[in-house]
Structure 1
Amino acid sequence: MTRRRVPGQRAIIDRRALTERISALASGDDDNRQAIVTALREALDAGREELARRLLEKPSAGHDCVAGHAFLIDQLLRVIHDYVTAHVYPVPNRTAAERLAVVAVGGYGRAEMAPHSDVDIAFVTPMKRAPWCEQVIEAMLYLLWDLGLKVGHSSRTIADTMRMAKEDLTIRTALLEGRLVWGDQELYEELRARFWQEVVKGTERQFLTQKLEERNQRHKRMGDSRYVVEPNVKDGKGGLRDLQTLYWIGKNQHRVETAADLVDVGLFTQTEYRSFRRAEGFLLAVRCHMHVITDRAEDRLTFDLQRQVAERMNFADRPGKSAVERFMQFYFLQAKRVGSLTGVFLSHLEEETTRAKVRTGFFAGWSPKSRDLKGYVISGGRIRAPSDDWFEKDPVRLIEIFQLAEAEGVEVHPETMRLADRDSRLIKSKVRKDPRANALFIELLSGRNDPETALRWMNEAGVFGRFVPDFGRVNAQMQFDMYHHYTVDEHTIRAIGLLSETERGLLEKDHPRNTREIHKVASRRAIYVAVLLHDIAKGRGGDHSVLGAEVARELCPRFGLDQKETDLVAWLVLQHLLMSSTAQKRDLTDPKTIEDFVAEVQTLERLRNLAILTAVDIRAVGPGTWNSWKGQLLGELYDAAKERLRLGHKRRGRAERVDAKKAVTAEALGEKAYLVEQAGELLSDAYWIAEPEDIIAKNLIQYEEARRIEDHLSIHCEVDEERGASLVSVIAPDHPGLFYRMAGGIHLAGANIIDARIHTAMNGYAVDNFLVQDLNAQPFREDTQIRRLKEGIRKALQGEGELVPKLAARPLSHLRAKAFEVAPSVNFDNSASNHFTVVEVTARDRPALLNRLAHALYKANLIVQSAHITAYGESAADTFYITDLTGSKIKTPERLAEIEAALLEAASDRKQRQLESA
């Protein structure tokens, strides 16, 4: 935003030489228009190549790059203008109406252009356009379009421009940055004078309000967080547009010409301005690299671009952190800085406006009453430090200010945020060890009002990371995958907020069990500290759960937690993934699953805390990550584990459990209760234990129907609101390959399988139940969807067409997954179940995956008893409970190695990638 002199200008474009070349072409007798366009295009291409070369040499020189591109366009416009006015439409003696000013507006007016930015121009004429002006403008535009430039243009008189600027905020903003490129200087000066006098004067506050509202709406469209993992560099929160908004407001209020002038008018300190320039320069460089890589105006920093930009900007791998993660961490630190600068800037403007506002009438001489709290001043819903050296006198106050803000339900004044940011360096070892500081921090962390917001302020001010250096290490750290939506620090702060909302009863609808149980925990502060520390060791090059438990053992005593609380927090951090992994990847009807889980959990207190931590952790990953199916799985695991922990054994043996289920099912069936004896006897105890009573009742009615119809194939689909999915039950004569064909048919219908239970009755009928969702993790509700689902399964089972080619041809639901390498892996566990071998396959998620894995198991002569499918963004973890054809576990190393090889081949996405790139 500061005007820069572009170095090495003639190496970018030599205007004199280009003008001479075009004049020579224009002076010939022939129509040389095409040759002139070629000369201009060659100059444009050469200039872009030179600037791209410079960007590679100095990959962080964002200001130089954008100024260079603006200079290149300036020179081309001047050459084009002179060519058109001298050779195409020459007028020896122009009238007063035959005057034209070519004005750069918007980003181009700021002399700030990325390689493929729009060329925003205003053609200004003194009065109703003369034919000559229209001809010149049209000729210039055709030449610019022939060069392949995207031109945003307007052609207006000064009077029209003033009228439209008053009515349209976008036009007013663009003119605010107007700059004469070429043409009539006097006309331009008149435009500027009238703009400031007629449009700006007296409307400064209105403009401020409108721009801030425009910014808020833009943030909402972009996700309303500066920590989204695929940020928009231009329009996202903490992006270039936020910096530009500050400049626009400052220029409109104070008529500053450059961003540096914001220091002179007191809106920034010199240090803040340097920070402004660093953030702006980095973001501009990133945007320029994106334009060069994609060869288009691309502003969204997608996963595939992140790798390439990181490489071009010379970020390297470090232990525990890849180059792309280091690059994105630096990116988010700049975005965070933009947020801090915005707060400071707006607080100054607010104070200016408040001072300028004269109260009249009844309120004359009245000002809002302030009150004192422990030396701080609370006024207008904000708390502020009373003096510039307040934190220097006692650095513990840097913790206290945020604790008081949370307890009192007030905001921290932006000016005090500025002081806290400046003085955060005062937090050293002595402050970290101070018992009072730690007590205040724990009081804030477990606050009863809104700890999330206060902790976010604390993080924005740089105090959080200084006081808890381990947290500082994950500050702005992204997780380079499609599962996590936020940086580690943002995810953690959101999780703390969700924990607080759970405790306050705000999430009772989704988490009724946790809302009850959180009030029974032995230590509130222990669960809050566990949520704070659960991801604290990410990016350290090892198992973050193990390393995090070690961090917890160091930090908890410092925070003032006793030994019992420390042990609990360390265990929770160590095992914070245990419950979600067990619930989503294991068969909860298998008694061994519950036995193993309870053996690790050991106490009801641990179970209660782990359940709460698991729910807030999943939910804080991002929008849509939590759903009722996950809630049901976690609830089933919790209830089963709680029963075992309270009673010390299973309440009922296998036979008793089967009899109890039969009794409940018979009652639910009413007049069809005879089916429990008639059809139910054909189903093994494993079926009765595995399936819920409501599904069993439906299966038995459906089985009776299947026996009656000609092909004995019955497909039933219905929405299961409680489980957040659609239930698909298929009953048919069993035959080899039934499961993999069903899986293929379901996916061809556009559904994702999230759970599958496969059973075979004693008379050879297959009874298979699937829970499926659409690509948005919602049940299939529409009649057309359900019809398509049934048709897909029927065609697959009847062998109509080859499944694999059709599946591979389906587009991947996450096209962004192509940016990731997911090495397939296969793990066997013969101790997780008493009756089955459990095999877990992890691979890149794609349409044909489940079908191919099931097909590989079928070809290996294995029987799948149940399947559990879990998606983590770009990767999928599919777990199968299997036996051989005799119903036995697979134990011999040779056989396991053979199965592993077959599954790895099926999990490989080599063919899929070939199809995608074809």
Structure 2
Amino acid sequence: MAERLLKHADHRLPLGDLSTKARRLAACKRFHKLETEMIAMRHRAGESGLTIVRALSAVIDILLTRLFDFAIERYAAEHPGEAPQVNLVAIGGYGRGELSPQSDLDAMFLFPSRGRGRDKFKPMEEILTDEILYILWDMGLTVGHSFRTIDEAFEQARQDIQVKTSLLEARHVAGPPSLFATFEQANQNFIQRDNPKAYIEARLQDQAARRAKHSDTVFLQEPDIKNGVGGLRDYQNILWMARVKLGIRRVEDLHALNYLTAAELKELTRGYEFLLRVRNDLHFNSRRATDLLSLDVQPRLAHRLGYDQRQVIERVEAFMRDYYSHARAIYRITRILEHRLALAPAENDKPRVTFREVLRSRRRDKVKRLDGFLIRGRQLSFEEESVFQEDPVRLIRVFRHCQQLNLRLDFELEALIRSSLPRLTRRIVRSSEANKSFRSILQTSGSVFPTLSSMHECGVLGKFVPEWDKLTCLVQHEFYHRYTADVHTLNTIRELDLVFTSSEPLYVKYREILHETSIPNLLYLILLLHDIGKARGIDNHCQAGVTIARPILRRLEISPAHQEKILFLIKNHLEMARFWQRYDLDDPRSTEAFAELVEDPEKLRLLAVHTFCDSRGTAASLWNSYKDTLHTSLFRNTLAHFESGPPGPGGDAAQLEMIKNDLLSRKIPGVSEEEVLAHFNLLPERYFIHTGNEEIILHLQMVNRLLKSINQADTVGSLRPVIDWVDDLNRSITAVDIVTWDRAGLFYRLAGAFSVAGLNILSARIISRADHIAIDTFYVVEPGRGIVQSQKAREAFEANVEQALVANKDLYPEILKQAKKLQDSLLRPSGTPLQESFPATVHVYHELSLKRNIVEIQACDQIGLLYLLSKTIYDHGFDITFARINTERGVAIDTFYIESTQPEDESEETARLLELREALTRIISPDTAQAVHY
């Protein structure tokens, strides 16, 4: 390859023959573009990531060498006499010879250290800047550069660890080799003498801070290939530490010194190669430097890298599963190496020893012994490497010891566990002794997550429960969590630990609920298995989970009574959230239907805490006070239903009479007794049962204001709505009550006004009096802020409502303007799902248990979506009587109760419902949404 590059350079870069800088720049651009395109072709043909980055580095080497030689010739022509020595030195990633297509190019111009005559280098610096740096910048390359003498380089390295690190990878590109040899020798001396221990500690601190910035997990839905956990930087950091501590430059040398096993070396290099290839593809197909595997690039990147599954989602899942698998291996192995290098003696500490000798010396320290293991401080190690050969059940018991004694496995024991996994045979997995230890782990309330997490990290959990292993690195493209099923499951168990141990009021509430069950810690096993059906796909995974879990429970020797509860929870673990997300909780029929589903208070309590842990385990930010209120309301309503049964004859009437008497006794200012009685006569009973007295009083006063406006205004003025805003700080939402004359299409007009004002609707409660006065309550938030703090937004809503209701103005053009602003913005929200991979759905059906026609919609959210949906429902002859609006990470999940506005028989209504479904599907379908919206 080098010969080919040189031939191409001789042909395309005859810089000495090009008289003007413009011509030299053009030649450099052509050479760089053609060579990069040829390398891109090799990448597309499947060339390895390392080969590509080295080829790109070689192109820059040739280019810089030709520019450097021309600059030196120019200096000689302009400054007769002896020219100062100077080297062009590659540093950083370029110094490693690993340039990705959009990587920064870091170079150092190195001068000798001779006395104090620093100014004599200035003319050379000016020419090098003019003939090299300006051309590189004009080519559009990002160049980091410095001019340093050898002494200055080390002086800056002492002050800045980043400079010191960059010098570790210094590589000669152009200039007298003797100067670079002098620098190299000085650099080696500097590395050995400049406190290697402090450098290692600083690198470890930097690693910890960087990983914390990326949530200390490989499994982010949009991982950073370079700086993320398990990314390229983890690998590179090990090489820097090894260079300083041991004086070696290659990862293979770590294997030679027994710091890496052959298997670890293979895993590490394969992972690094994979990440480099992914990064190269990302850079080749981006207009700017980026290392983020964002949701929108994942499908195309997977396709280009050869993932040829038929469905887009399947391609992305397969690609990301490979990514997570490789990144996880890099993270695990580099953590082991960091530990080993931190323990190792420095290169200049004599005599030089291998890591095995270091380990033996530590084992001679005073320790306690337990079941073939050694306890040293808070760490557990092994006494003999045959510990698992002697008794394979120890592969489970070792984690129980750690849990009971609050110990952690040392890195060498972790490595021995991984290499001993084949000893977890079918016989051991089915043994009563092993299953007893595993059950004990799950029964230790409050400390299960660290233990299961450690078992998973070592590969034991998946080996012991092979059905669960299929969740490892399994990406799920659901609307609220698009990351691996194994990590999500463990996160739910961490949440349950907090339920048992945290003093935060939110967790205390669920602890009290859980302690009312007969076996609170049974929920650990339920959570461990609740998503096991996803190994067969997202669709119908709850029922599939029951099928998969049944033999596991028998193998674990779980009692039949407990098996029944566990399988019930697995089958129905999504139902509680589904009910409160989609149904009207003020409707007693919702409570009755849910009570019939969950069967008894014990299952209700388990399901309530499970739903909380499941949601929080997806992402803590997805559980907010508003959702907790809905969840708690459904729990308490259903528990009350079990404890007292449905209201007997006259039960609601008695409660209604109490509310009426209370309101009449208060003598509401400005509201007559006749108005109160009329309010009770004109509204259904459930309004009063599920509305607080203070809110009823507010509605009475608003109705009074509306009726007075009839006498005080003209006909048009009487159409103006009465609006009231109430901030609920506890739930971080704003309730907007709107009282107005009911009219066709009221809901979509109000929804449009909220859209134009830039407010998000969470839910809506819609009711009308028999005298056609509508009392609608919308629960809204200001994006990113919760309660509506913007007075401008409130005024915009009120002005647009008046325009829509009084002037009959169509607000859709204003909504489109808002959408256009967002479309033109470069700030696309992170985490927005792709339409090509997100399954938009519409369900229109009659729910017999609720006696309601229901519309359920799941679609990518966009400005004006709710307006279009609700207007389409109106246009097809239906009124919206209840709405639950929910938006998560760019996905709208909306439920509407609808009633026909015209009398008709059942077959006619069914036909119109089918037409409505088709119309709504056209709105949310990726293929037709563009035409519908614009």
Q: Normalising by structure 2, what TM-score?
A: 0.90
Query: What is the match of residue 699 of structure 1?
Result: 699
Letter of the aligned partner of 2:768 in structure 1? T
The within-5 A match list for 1:81-96 is 81-87=68-74, 90=77, 95=82
- Counterparts of 1:777 and 1:196, CA distance in 2: 55
1:868 correspondence with 2:884: yes
Deviations 1:571-614 (A, max 9, x none): 10110000000011011122221222111111111111111111
Query: What is the match of residue 221 of structure 1?
Result: 213
Could you tell me whether the CA contact under 8 Å between 1:503 and 1:519 is conserved in 2?
Answer: no
SS at match of 1:722: coil
1:74 correspondence with 2:61: yes
Could you tell me whether the CA contact under 8 Å between 2:444 and 2:521 is conserved in 1?
Answer: no
Could you tell me whether the CA contact under 8 Å between 2:378 and 2:408 is conserved in 1?
Answer: yes
Query: What is the match of residue 361 of structure 1?
Result: none
1:529 correspondence with 2:545: no
1:208 correspondence with 2:200: yes
Q: CA deviation at 1:381?
A: 1.2
1:262 correspondence with 2:260: no
Mean Cα deviation higher: 182-191 or 818-827: 818-827
The verdict on how the C-alpha distance between 1:17 and 1:888 changes in structure 2, with shifts beyond 3 A counting, is closer
Q: CA deviation at 1:405?
A: 1.2
The within-5 A match list for 1:450-489 is 450-481=447-478, 483-484=480-481, 486-489=483-486
Deviations 1:465-510 (A, max 9, x none): 111112211101111345115411111001001111102244x422
Letter of the aligned partner of 1:900 in structure 2? R
The verdict on how the C-alpha distance between 1:159 and 1:56 changes in structure 2, with shifts beyond 3 A counting, is same
Deviations 1:674-724 (A, max 9, x none): 564354443332432453444333322333333345544221122113333
Query: What is the match of residue 884 of structure 1?
Result: 900
The within-5 A match list for 1:246-325 is 246-317=238-309, 322-325=314-317
Could you tell me whether the CA contact under 8 Å between 2:296 and 2:833 is conserved in 1?
Answer: no
- Counterparts of 1:555 and 1:726, CA distance in 2: 47
Mean Cα deviation higher: 722-731 or 128-137: 128-137
Deviations 1:716-767 (A, max 9, x none): 1221133331111111222222110111111222221111011122332211
The verdict on how the C-alpha distance between 1:613 and 1:134 changes in structure 2, with shifts beyond 3 A counting, is same
1:147 correspondence with 2:139: yes
- Counterparts of 2:127 and 2:924, CA distance in 1: 64
Query: What is the match of residue 899 of structure 1?
Result: 916
- Counterparts of 1:564 and 1:254, CA distance in 2: 60
Q: CA deviation at 1:905?
A: 3.1
Could you tell me whether the CA contact under 8 Å between 1:502 and 1:511 is conserved in 2?
Answer: yes
Letter of the aligned partner of 1:76 in structure 2? L
- Counterparts of 1:843 and 1:68, CA distance in 2: 45
Query: What is the match of residue 335 of structure 1?
Result: 327
Mean Cα deviation higher: 831-840 or 735-744: 831-840
The within-5 A match list for 1:478-517 is 478-481=475-478, 483-484=480-481, 486-506=483-503, 508-517=504-513
Deviations 1:374-429 (A, max 9, x none): 33212121111222221222222111112221222121111111111221232221
- Counterparts of 1:163 and 1:645, CA distance in 2: 77
Q: CA deviation at 1:667?
A: 7.3
1:715 correspondence with 2:732: no
Counterpart among 108, 131, 144 of residue 122 in structure 1: 108
Q: CA deviation at 1:530?
A: 0.8
Q: CA deviation at 1:165?
A: 0.7
- Counterparts of 1:889 and 1:621, CA distance in 2: 45
Q: CA deviation at 1:119?
A: 0.7
Could you tell me whether the CA contact under 8 Å between 1:456 and 1:493 is conserved in 2?
Answer: yes
Q: CA deviation at 1:254?
A: 1.0
How many residues get paired?
Answer: 896
Query: What is the match of residue 3 of structure 1?
Result: none
Letter of the aligned partner of 1:33 in structure 2? K
- Counterparts of 2:904 and 2:646, CA distance in 1: 27
- Counterparts of 1:669 and 1:208, CA distance in 2: 77
Mean Cα deviation higher: 61-70 or 610-619: 61-70
Could you tell me whether the CA contact under 8 Å between 2:238 and 2:334 is conserved in 1?
Answer: yes
- Counterparts of 2:896 and 2:750, CA distance in 1: 15
Query: What is the match of residue 730 of structure 1?
Result: 738
Query: What is the match of residue 779 of structure 1?
Result: 787
1:560 correspondence with 2:570: no
SS at match of 1:700: helix
Counterpart among 813, 822, 826 of residue 842 in structure 2: 826
- Counterparts of 1:416 and 1:636, CA distance in 2: 49
Q: CA deviation at 1:819?
A: 5.0
Q: CA deviation at 1:796?
A: 4.0
**Structure 1 unaligned spans of 5+:** 1-7, 359-364
Could you tell me whether the CA contact under 8 Å between 2:835 and 2:860 is conserved in 1?
Answer: no
Counterpart among 755, 758, 762 of residue 770 in structure 2: 762
Letter of the aligned partner of 1:217 in structure 2? A
Counterpart among 361, 372, 379 of residue 382 in structure 1: 379
The verdict on how the C-alpha distance between 1:661 and 1:337 changes in structure 2, with shifts beyond 3 A counting, is farther
Query: What is the match of residue 24 of structure 2?
Result: 36
Calculate the aligned-residue CA RMSD, in Å: 2.9
- Counterparts of 1:288 and 1:488, CA distance in 2: 28
Query: What is the match of residue 865 of structure 2?
Result: 849
Deviations 1:760-784 (A, max 9, x none): 2233221100111233372223444
Q: CA deviation at 1:879?
A: 1.0
Q: CA deviation at 1:10?
A: 4.7
Query: What is the match of residue 18 of structure 1?
Result: 9
Query: What is the match of residue 84 of structure 2?
Result: 98
The verdict on how the C-alpha distance between 1:120 and 1:829 changes in structure 2, with shifts beyond 3 A counting, is same
Letter of the aligned partner of 1:848 in structure 2? G
SS at match of 2:251: coil
Deviations 1:550-570 (A, max 9, x none): 112111121221111111111
Counterpart among 861, 868, 874 of residue 858 in structure 1: 874
SS at match of 1:377: strand
SS at match of 2:887: strand
Q: Normalising by structure 1, what TM-score?
A: 0.92
- Counterparts of 1:662 and 1:328, CA distance in 2: 61
The verdict on how the C-alpha distance between 1:347 and 1:357 changes in structure 2, with shifts beyond 3 A counting, is farther
Could you tell me whether the CA contact under 8 Å between 2:582 and 2:884 is conserved in 1?
Answer: yes
- Counterparts of 2:66 and 2:692, CA distance in 1: 79
- Counterparts of 1:196 and 1:908, CA distance in 2: 63
Q: CA deviation at 1:369?
A: 5.4
SS at match of 2:886: strand
Could you tell me whether the CA contact under 8 Å between 1:729 and 1:769 is conserved in 2?
Answer: yes
**Structure 2 unaligned spans of 5+:** 352-361
- Counterparts of 1:420 and 1:9, CA distance in 2: 46
Could you tell me whether the CA contact under 8 Å between 2:922 and 2:932 is conserved in 1?
Answer: no
Query: What is the match of residue 402 of structure 1?
Result: 399
Query: What is the match of residue 354 of structure 2?
Result: none
Deviations 1:299-327 (A, max 9, x none): 00011211112112212328997011011
- Counterparts of 2:29 and 2:599, CA distance in 1: 74
Could you tell me whether the CA contact under 8 Å between 1:836 and 1:882 is conserved in 2?
Answer: yes
Query: What is the match of residue 96 of structure 2?
Result: 110
The verdict on how the C-alpha distance between 1:823 and 1:256 changes in structure 2, with shifts beyond 3 A counting, is closer
The within-5 A match list for 1:156-235 is 156-198=148-190, 200-235=192-227
Query: What is the match of residue 682 of structure 1?
Result: 682
Query: What is the match of residue 569 of structure 1?
Result: 566
- Counterparts of 2:425 and 2:662, CA distance in 1: 65
Q: CA deviation at 1:329?
A: 0.8
Q: CA deviation at 1:17?
A: 4.3
Query: What is the match of residue 603 of structure 1?
Result: 600
Q: CA deviation at 1:285?
A: 0.6
Query: What is the match of residue 40 of structure 2?
Result: 52
- Counterparts of 1:195 and 1:667, CA distance in 2: 90
SS at match of 1:583: helix
